[in-house]
Amino acid sequence: MKVFQRFLKAPTTPVGLVFGLVVPLLFVIFWMTGYNGATDRIDQLHVALVAEASTQGADIADRIASTAPFYAERFSSLEEAQAKMNEGALHMVISVPAELAQDVREAGNGKLVYYVNQANSDVAKSMMETVAEQITREVSGNLTGVTELPVQAEIIKTNPVSNFSTSMLPMILGFITYIAVMTMNIQLNLSSLKLQSEFGKWEIFFARQKLYALAAVLFPLIITGAAMLFVDVHSSFLAMWAFHMLVYLTCICVTQMGFALFGQAGPLFNVGLVPLQLLTAGNIIPAIMLTGFYRQLGHFLPAPNAIQGYTKLIYGSGGSISIYVINMLLISAVCWGITVLVLALKERPAKVELSQTTPLI
């Protein structure tokens, strides 16, 4: 009993107990509210319908658009629609042949062509393929009035990745980096506390920034090099390394700010961002299908921007990663600025105050 009481009085015990309760509780709160009804919001997904104007195909495209369970946008060019899909603005492209109705009437068969981007989340890909089969059955019924399927669905998977391990790379480099930096900052914060008895707060702070700068250059170099030994990616090593350096920088600034704002409760703040980042990253389910509060939240967090940027770099799905670069630069600047401001407003350590009063004793 005595040992149990002493154990409870240890300063680290309450912290451990709080983590044991709060971390899974945050996952329950964020994920249950964020994913609630997500599969019912298929109408938030955007699909392109490509058909030549003033043709039978255009009439069929109009009927699909009016009955489809998602937002359908008409395009006259397949190339333009595919470019939009590769940029992440569309989840599927449906190409309707101009003479589809005539082919079914004269030859007894025809086909609708569906383009599904494999760089999307697994949930989005699965939903698009299911909807493709549903649309094909409806078009067949409208053209023939029977339940047979003279119209077939041809699903073309764009930006495919043959090696499953490659599909895990955005999560490893984009999200696990945050976990690694968060853990690193816990230890560096302990080192900073020990150095307070010997050095001033600004000396310690800028020494840490130098260490962070070295880590942000060297660690991505090693990790990116190791990753590219195992998988082939679309982008060059320099592009992958440069982007990973930015990811490291952003994660460092965010987790460092947590300690500046909350002190020894900083780890809890940083861990609290974990379920939010996994929720809004878009690799499990498209962020647009989340409940309203969470849809845009990922733009303000490091891992969602990193994962989406890596998806384009690794898959070569087209489109620019500039929006993710800008987001992470802004996140880094704001978080670093807050850290400096908080440090500037903090009082001098107690040891300094004691030394100033020593002559009065």
Residue 68 tokens read as 């489809």
Contact indicator for 273, 15 with CB cutoff of 8 Å: no
Local confidence band at 279 (pLDDT 50, 70, 90 cut-offs): very high
Sorted by where each starts, the structural domains of the chain and their CATH numbers stand as: 12-35+164-350 (no CATH), 45-158 (3.40.1710.10)
Specify the pLDDT at position 361.
33
pLDDT for position 360: 34
What pLDDT, in 10s, does the model give residues 223-269?
999 999 988 888 999 999 999 999 999 999 999 999 999 988 899 99
Vertex 219 angle, CA 214 and 222, to 5°: 130
Q: For 137-157, how does the pLDDT look when each residue is reduced to its tens digit (9 = 90+)?
A: 888 877 776 556 678 888 998
Instruction: Determine the average pLDDT of the residues in 51-77.
Output: 84
Q: Is pLDDT of 355 > 60?
A: no
Q: Are 274 and 179 in contact (CB under 8 A)?
A: yes
Q: Please name which of 289, 313, 177 lies closest in space to residue 239, comparing C-alpha atoms.
A: 313
Mean pLDDT on 268-275: 94
* Angstrom distance (rounded) from CA 140 to CA 104: 9
What's the predicted TM-score (pTM) here? 0.84
Angle at 258 between CA 257 and CA 259, to 5 degrees: 90
On whether the CB atoms of residues 313 and 235 are closer than 8 A, the answer is yes
